[in-house]
Amino acid sequence: MDASDREMRVYYASRASYYDAVYEKPERRDDIAFLKKHLPERLRGREVLEIACGTGYWSQHIAPECLRYVATDGVAEPLEIARTRAGLSQADCFIADAYALPATLGQFHGAFAGLWFSHVPHERSTEFFGSLHARLQPGARVVLIDNSTVQCAEFPIVETDDQGNTYQQRPLRDGTTHRVLKNFPSRARLEALAQGFGASRCEFRALDNFWYFEYDLPAQ
Ligand SMILES: C[S@@+](CC[C@H](N)C(=O)[O-])C[C@H]1O[C@@H](n2cnc3c(N)ncnc32)[C@H](O)[C@@H]1O
């Protein structure tokens, strides 16, 4: 784990108890209403693995519609909150590093990650997708959502590293400030990554505050 990864984990551990405030911003209301309905519809009836579930904000809406739901996060504090959600009472919640998802989680035909891919350094994208796809069956559906660049109005990009990764300074209620890697991948980049794994179908939607990306792995 490098220093940037470590700092992000400290940041999310410290923020866990009030993380959900991010979903109360009035300008996000319409997008959130759409996603709360659309995400469960797209994963309904599947066995689904969620990566970096955080406090389980999206999981609570998706899990009740799924045949089986396993929610994972790399940090204990947000996952403890996820475990208390009524919508996750039938789900399993495990600590798991997105880059090294263990085989013990099982095999799935659906996957979801909310507001996670923006934290994956460009040079680790293939590693992340490799880890995820190793847990998925042929034909599995993958759904990703994340912030649009509108989010930069609150947290401007303050730094770009040699790999092209961008960083924000994030203040917390305890007075600390954290340097957090936050990328804003284009539709073309997302499609190229998915197609590199043989995705048979890609769908991208630009909402006002978020983007939505879905693809299916090849059937064989
Ligand atoms: C922006 S939050 C997203 C939480 C939730 N998915 C949502 O959309 O509200 C990013 C999450 O990534 C988790 N995380 C950070 N590093 C991780 C890693 N290496 N593997 C898995 N999760 C990680 C953090 O603990 C945090 O819960």
d(CA 187, CA 116): 16
Residue 72 belongs to what H/E stretch?
A: strand 68-73
> Cα(220) to centroid of ligand 1, in Å?
30
pLDDT-based confidence at residue 16 (cuts at 50, 70, 90): very high
Nearest Cα residue to atom 23 of ligand 1: 74
Mean pLDDT of 81-99: 97
pTM above 0.95, yes or no: yes
> Cα(73) to centroid of ligand 1, in Å?
6
> Cα(74) to centroid of ligand 1, in Å?
7
Residues lining ligand 1, Cβ inside 6 A:
8-9, 12, 52-54, 57-58, 73-75, 78, 97-99, 114-116, 119
Mean pLDDT of 160-171: 97
Task: Please report, for the domain that includes residue 202, its CATH number.
Answer: 3.40.50.150
The residue among 160, 220, 218 whose CA lies nearest residue 184 is 160
The pick from 5, 10, 12, 101 for probing ligand 1's pocket by mutation, whose C-beta has the most ligand atoms within 8 angstroms, reads: 12
Give the pLDDT confidence score for residue 28 in this predicted structure: 95
Host domain of residue 133:
3-216
25-64 residue pLDDT tens:
999 999 999 999 999 999 999 999 999 999 999 999 999 9
* Dihedral (CA of 107, 111, 115, 117) sign: positive
SS3 at position 114: strand
Residues 2, 115, 187: CA angle, nearest 5 degrees: 100
Nearest Cα residue to atom 8 of ligand 1: 114
Query: How distant is the alpha carbon of residue 209 from its chain centre?
Result: 15
Give the pLDDT confidence score for residue 200 in this predicted structure: 82
Give me the number of domains the chain comprises: 1
The pick from 10, 32, 53, 119 for probing ligand 1's pocket by mutation, whose C-beta has the most ligand atoms within 8 angstroms, reads: 119
Q: Which tokens hold the place of 218?
A: 């090849």
Instruction: Provide the 8-state DSSP code for 127.
Output: H
